Chains A and B, each alone.
Chain A
């Protein structure tokens, strides 16, 4: 029973951190309709950026701030220079473009800043937090709480004036144009915010598993999160993240010893597959109606 609770709690915390990695994906898909398969490498780039500025001798919070600025500008540039040309192209072109960006960044960032795993400390001790008989990983605890705060902030952001504009753009591009909103600016902004979310996720994940190219592998759980929660829903990210995290922790916790292999990826794959087969638009996603 305690074992189950421990798996459940740690899974939920990890799931919240998955949600943060998936947040950028949803932001971009919601506003621009672009599936950003480079989100995993954006997280990696964010982690590298924070590590780089810390290694220059800056304190953590300034490094994170500068990292946010760098990734924000990078997101704007990606939208302006690459994705703007893809408007109206078939989805395979857009998917491959973001995958090309994924591959490019996966080579470029470790190539320039060094491929060896680097520690990134956010000042959280290693000793577990013990509640009853449940051992909670302290880094996961902080990560989960911070992720929850950041997702809450992004939800609050959509209540502001700018956020309302972005919601309008995500609802209908042409109608937003008609009432004088700049669709391009809103889409660019969503890329920038996705960059900031990537810095948040990168800092948390980098502190948990070190900074190297493997952080880009977060793309896969992030995809499961957004497919399950719905591609264009921010509450969906939260719920999807929790579910993916819990299932990806509880099921391997019992099965791994039986089949002798890491079943976490299998659980993630099955979540993607079953969601697509049973309810393709996810739990909270908006169903597209196709016209002939």
Chain B
């Protein structure tokens, strides 16, 4: 089989630490990247704009959250609020005349600063209490955004994003917006894959596994918990800004409500905690499966096979979404990344049945 460890000999440490030591994995990544780059050529604008583009941005958001929840082990149920801070800051900065590139960074920085405040709760409590604290902060941030007219533009207001250009390229057409989102998702993926190999990433993993024990061996939990919140909030803030500029092209507070936070956690968990591929698979699954299944039921209904009332149809995405979360937690708690890993390991030793790793 083309896909195996046999014949891969590491003679240097660099080779052993490579991200993808197996040639087939490298080809797979290159192929996927080429497909993503060529997507505007073979996908219709409808699919590109309403499926692939949001998929990339939500994957980037899930990557940011999985850095915090998967690597550092800090549960966060208010990540949509962090993204909202990034989105609103970036919009107000571009409206004030700042260039878009700086506004993106500014959105990230302001999200990082306020998001680190979420982290101060993590210094005191963990687990369930951290969930509750971040949840309360989500409500606080929502309330501030809605009730301060200088931020939201007034009650029930929608702020449209101004026309911007990114390093001279106008971000107006669908292709430009798609490539910007794709670029950010790729950048975050590369960062995420590499951060696990740095001392920073290893410190985060030590904190996740046991913060007291990490403190004993000289990893300062105080510092690294805050750094984890800082990094993830920066990434989340920029992602939120991109979500506003590339996908919605307008912001309202409802786009970043508590339910969105839950959706992000669901993406991370359904995909698999702390894995890059899981963020992409999870985001795609949580976004697309309810839509696909609802369309399927609607098609069956119009074909006269199933009789589903209008009311039930309207609630079907919610039902499927909830059932999906429950199903994954019961039957595959390690998520889609584990399923992918199982398949990959099967082919690594094919035609034998077991691998030792």
Which residues of A come within 8 Å of B, CB atoms?
A: 35, 82, 85-86, 89, 91-93, 95-97, 99-108, 110-112, 114-115, 220, 223, 227, 231, 259-261, 263, 265-266, 268-270, 272-273, 276-277, 280, 290, 292
Are A265 and B329 also in contact (CB < 8 A) when A111-B319, A276-B129, A277-B121 are? no
Contact B75 A92 (CB under 8 A): yes
Would you give 6 A-B contacts (Cβ < 8 Å), ordered by A? A86-B329, A103-B325, A111-B316, A273-B137, A276-B124, A276-B136
Contact A110 B315 (CB under 8 A): yes
| Chain A proximity of B301: nearest CB distance (Å) | 14
Kindly list chain A residues whose C-beta atoms are within 8 Å of the C-beta of B265: 96, 99
Are A93 and B329 also in contact (CB < 8 A) when A111-B312, A259-B147, A290-B212 are? yes
Kindly list chain B residues whose C-beta atoms are within 8 Å of the C-beta of A107: 315-319, 321-322
Contact A270 B140 (CB under 8 A): yes
Contact B325 A99 (CB under 8 A): yes
Are A97 and B133 also in contact (CB < 8 A) when A103-B318, A115-B315 are? no
Contact A260 B132 (CB under 8 A): no
Contact B330 A104 (CB under 8 A): no
Of A227, A260, A277, A292, which contacts B210 at CB under 8 A? A292
Kindly list chain B residues whose C-beta atoms are within 8 Å of the C-beta of A273: 121, 133, 136-137, 140
B34 within 8 A of A: no
B91 within 8 A of A: no
Contact A114 B311 (CB under 8 A): yes
- Alpha-carbon gap, A292 to B273, bound state (A): 23
- Alpha-carbon gap, A35 to B137, bound state (A): 19
Known: A96-B265, A276-B121. 7 other contacts (CB 8 A): A92-B75, A97-B325, A100-B323, A272-B136, A273-B121, A273-B136, A276-B124
Does more than half of chain A's interface fall in helix, strand or loop, or is it mixed? Answer: helix
Which residues of B come within 8 Å of A, CB atoms?
A: 69, 75, 121, 124-125, 127-129, 131-133, 135-137, 139-140, 143, 146-147, 210, 212-213, 216, 262, 265-266, 269, 273, 311-312, 314-319, 321-326, 329-330, 333
Kindly list chain B residues whose C-beta atoms are within 8 Å of the C-beta of A114: 311
For A291, give the chain B residue with the smallest CB separation. Answer: B212
Contact B143 A269 (CB under 8 A): yes
Contact B262 A276 (CB under 8 A): no
Contact B147 A97 (CB under 8 A): no
Kindly list chain A residues whose C-beta atoms are within 8 Å of the C-beta of B315: 107-108, 110-111, 115
Of B69, B133, B311, B324, which contacts A92 at CB under 8 A? B69
Contact A220 B139 (CB under 8 A): yes
- Alpha-carbon gap, A20 to B121, bound state (A): 28
Kindly list chain B residues whose C-beta atoms are within 8 Å of the C-beta of A290: 212
Of B129, B139, B210, B322, which contacts A268 at CB under 8 A? B139
Contact B325 A108 (CB under 8 A): no
Kindly list chain A residues whose C-beta atoms are within 8 Å of the C-beta of B216: 292
Are A272 and B75 also in contact (CB < 8 A) when A104-B326, A114-B311 are? no
Of B147, B213, B325, which contacts A96 at CB under 8 A? B325
Counting chain B CB atoms within 10 Å of each CB, which of A89, A100, A108 scores highest?
A100
For B133, give the chain A residue with the smallest CB separation. Answer: A276
For B324, give the chain A residue with the smallest CB separation. Answer: A100
Kindly list chain B residues whose C-beta atoms are within 8 Å of the C-beta of A100: 266, 322-326, 329
Kindly list chain A residues whose C-beta atoms are within 8 Å of the C-beta of B121: 273, 276-277
For B138, give the chain A residue with the smallest CB separation. Answer: A269
- Alpha-carbon gap, A91 to B127, bound state (A): 6
For A231, give the chain B residue with the smallest CB separation. Answer: B128
- Alpha-carbon gap, A220 to B131, bound state (A): 12
A-B pairs with lowest CB-CB distance, top 8: A104-B322, A107-B318, A111-B315, A100-B325, A103-B322, A107-B319, A272-B136, A261-B147
- Alpha-carbon gap, A114 to B318, bound state (A): 15
Are A272 and B133 also in contact (CB < 8 A) when A97-B329, A220-B139 are? yes
| Chain A proximity of B123: nearest CB distance (Å) | 10
Kindly list chain B residues whose C-beta atoms are within 8 Å of the C-beta of A265: 139, 143
For A37, give the chain B residue with the smallest CB separation. Answer: B131
Contact B124 A111 (CB under 8 A): no
- Alpha-carbon gap, A115 to B210, bound state (A): 46
Kindly list chain A residues whose C-beta atoms are within 8 Å of the C-beta of B129: 227, 276, 280
Are A96 and B311 also in contact (CB < 8 A) when A273-B140, A280-B124 are? no
